Structure 1
């Protein structure tokens, strides 16, 4: 069998196991990407979740000696939720981004790639393969673009002709010299809708993201959220879809091709107050399946408190007061104090003044002062 024939067999097999798009690229170093990554690092635009060794991100041969090709795959995920519950007064809800609907996509992609790896090794026993998704060293976007999966959009996502940017990406490095596909050049043109719509201005320019300003990143942090972003986060519990929702290439794109990606509406659009006191066991049972649970419950609870403040939910004051009194975590107590001031309920001032006398943590005391200042400005 020739390598060209093997490529066709891999494509046919990928379709049979539910891979929505597949492309092939050379494993040559990503020379142009290296300069961009160094620039991102110098500007302080990285999130800290990336592989710190830039050479590993641009040299596939460091991950697999004698690497010749990279196989890129894409799986399309839904953009619309069926039977979504309403967020109503007294029963306000948060929202997980679309990439956290259904089962953790890392696991879904890993299963597909394991099947594909087994098929390749059955056909070419002497080949070697290494697969990765998201948390791997290589840039999923750079690989996908080179492999012709889609183009790298101004919103820093891969945009495919068929599925828009609502795709999960993964790749397999191999020692097989499979014929490469043609890269797709950027097709965003003069459109700047994603840049204009970004709530925090995180998209510095087309294709360049300051990760530290991105709501998708901010919702995953475990510390106090900077004041300037609390107004921007809205009711987002995990992630952000704004730059994808406004993209013209995503208009009308909604694919329900994988049952395991279908969201449970009550889980991905949860009642905010129910998140506040959830036990570790309940959290694992309810949210453990989601990719959005990987950082634990603390960031999601902090975000839920901010969302309640966003809605100015007076019905949440008693719950927030309880957090301020009883929660052992300063970030949760402090954020609750700020939220109590933001909501500006009838008894907010009394709650905060009592807490001020009791509280010992300096960070929480600062948040209590912020809450009191919000009340003072509210009353002016």
Structure 2
């Protein structure tokens, strides 16, 4: 087979099925990535959500022994929402990060990769392949960088010339020996805006992220949020866009190429108070199709409670007090006590004092006493 010609055919087919950008990389070991991952692990900078060891994440032939090349794809997603509802007193709203707008990107990219894989099998019946999106062992970003999709910015995102960093990435490891594409030149230059603007100093330096401090990670945790971060998350319910929205490379980048990624404003920017009483079934019906729902409703509700404290939203007091008194989850009861303390009305402090009399969980009691400390400030 003429693999040079076949590569052109694959590129043409990718455009037919709505893939915004495609690139080809060798399946050689990602030596620099492996060293970086080992360093991240030693420093305790990993999130814990990563799949596989540094070796598995950097050596494609561990995933497909016959691996000769990797196909990287990118789909652009919107950065702006039409008719976005306003958050106002009495109707405060939270926000999901742009990468969680619309249908779960994992599903959309898998569909594209499956179509691409079927095309490869149709033309090369003996083909071996393994595809993955985000949750696979390989680093999507390292593959995309090698395949010329874009360069790895100081904000630890792939920045494409066409779409900025508002792209989802996926890849297929294959035994077809496609010729590799040329990487894109890094053009961050002296710009350090993302590093300087990160709310929690999670970007240790350009290109190095301490995931344990990253708001995108913190909003997905299920335990009590460490206090130093509670004033930083604002009204974020899932994810964080700061290091992307401040990036000059993203200025005027807003693509609506895929209907699946168009946000439902009431899902992407939901009212906070109704979130507090949503059932598991209701949560799944409303939010189950977006990527931000993967950890379930508990982290979202915890973040909503913190957002109401951030807004000092007095209309939420009754519902917050109900949760503090009746919710079976210690993280929710304790977080409510903290936020009631921030709202800071006499009713809030009285409710916390009454709840202390009935509470027997040590962590919750600690949070309740912390909530009462706001009365002294």
TM-score tier, shorter chain, comes to over 0.9
Cα distance in 2 for residues equivalent to 1:19 and 1:332: 42
Does the CA-based 8 Å contact 1:325-1:355 persist in structure 2?
A: yes
In structure 2, stretches of 5+ residues that fail to align are none
1:87 aligned to 2:78? Answer: no
- Kindly state the Cα deviation for residue 346 of structure 1 after the two structures are TM-superposed: 2.7
Matched residue, 1:10: 10
Could you tell me the TM-score, scaled by structure 1's length? 0.99
Matched residue, 2:69: 69
Give the SS at the match of 2:4.
helix
1:225 aligned to 2:186? Answer: no
Q: Deviations over 1:137-181 (max 9, x none)?
A: 000010000000000000000000000000000000000000110
Cα distance in 2 for residues equivalent to 1:308 and 1:375: 17
Cα distance in 2 for residues equivalent to 1:226 and 1:332: 14
1:97-112 paired onto structure 2 within 5 Å? 97-112=97-112
Cα distance in 1 for residues equivalent to 2:349 and 2:62: 59
Cα distance in 2 for residues equivalent to 1:321 and 1:63: 51
My pick for the range that moved more, 23-32 or 343-352, is 343-352
Matched residue, 2:53: 53
- Segments of 4+ moved more than 6 angstroms: none
Give the SS at the match of 2:70.
strand
- Kindly state the Cα deviation for residue 126 of structure 1 after the two structures are TM-superposed: 1.1
Matched residue, 1:38: 38
Does the CA-based 8 Å contact 1:317-1:345 persist in structure 2?
A: no
Cα distance in 2 for residues equivalent to 1:349 and 1:93: 24
Does the CA-based 8 Å contact 2:134-2:170 persist in structure 1?
A: yes
Q: Deviations over 1:27-82 (max 9, x none)?
A: 00001111111100000000000124111101100100110000000000000000
Matched residue, 1:138: 138
My pick for the range that moved more, 343-352 or 291-300, is 343-352
My pick for the range that moved more, 348-357 or 223-232, is 348-357
Q: Deviations over 1:329-355 (max 9, x none)?
A: 000000000000011023111101101
Cα distance in 1 for residues equivalent to 2:211 and 2:83: 33
Cα distance in 2 for residues equivalent to 1:349 and 1:78: 43
Give the SS at the match of 1:23.
strand
Q: Deviations over 1:91-139 (max 9, x none)?
A: 0000000000000000000000000000011011111110001000000
Cα distance in 2 for residues equivalent to 1:178 and 1:111: 22
1:333-348 paired onto structure 2 within 5 Å? 333-348=333-348
Cα distance in 1 for residues equivalent to 2:364 and 2:110: 42
Give the SS at the match of 2:102.
coil
Matched residue, 2:180: 180
User: Do the aligned partners of residues 247 and 80 (structure 1) sit closer, same or farther apart at CA in structure 2, a change above 3 Å counting?
Assistant: same
- Kindly state the Cα deviation for residue 302 of structure 1 after the two structures are TM-superposed: 0.1
- Kindly state the Cα deviation for residue 375 of structure 1 after the two structures are TM-superposed: 1.5
Cα distance in 2 for residues equivalent to 1:321 and 1:249: 45
Matched residue, 1:114: 114
Q: How many residues are paired up?
A: 377
Cα distance in 1 for residues equivalent to 2:32 and 2:105: 29
Give the SS at the match of 1:347.
helix
Cα distance in 2 for residues equivalent to 1:296 and 1:188: 36
Does the CA-based 8 Å contact 2:66-2:128 persist in structure 1?
A: no
Cα distance in 1 for residues equivalent to 2:336 and 2:52: 35
1:306-325 paired onto structure 2 within 5 Å? 306-325=306-325
Give the SS at the match of 1:91.
coil
1:233-244 paired onto structure 2 within 5 Å? 233-244=233-244
Give the SS at the match of 2:364.
helix
Cα distance in 2 for residues equivalent to 1:95 and 1:347: 28
Matched residue, 1:359: 359
Cα distance in 2 for residues equivalent to 1:280 and 1:51: 27
My pick for the range that moved more, 50-59 or 86-95, is 50-59
My pick for the range that moved more, 346-355 or 198-207, is 346-355
1:251-266 paired onto structure 2 within 5 Å? 251-266=251-266
Cα distance in 1 for residues equivalent to 2:185 and 2:221: 34
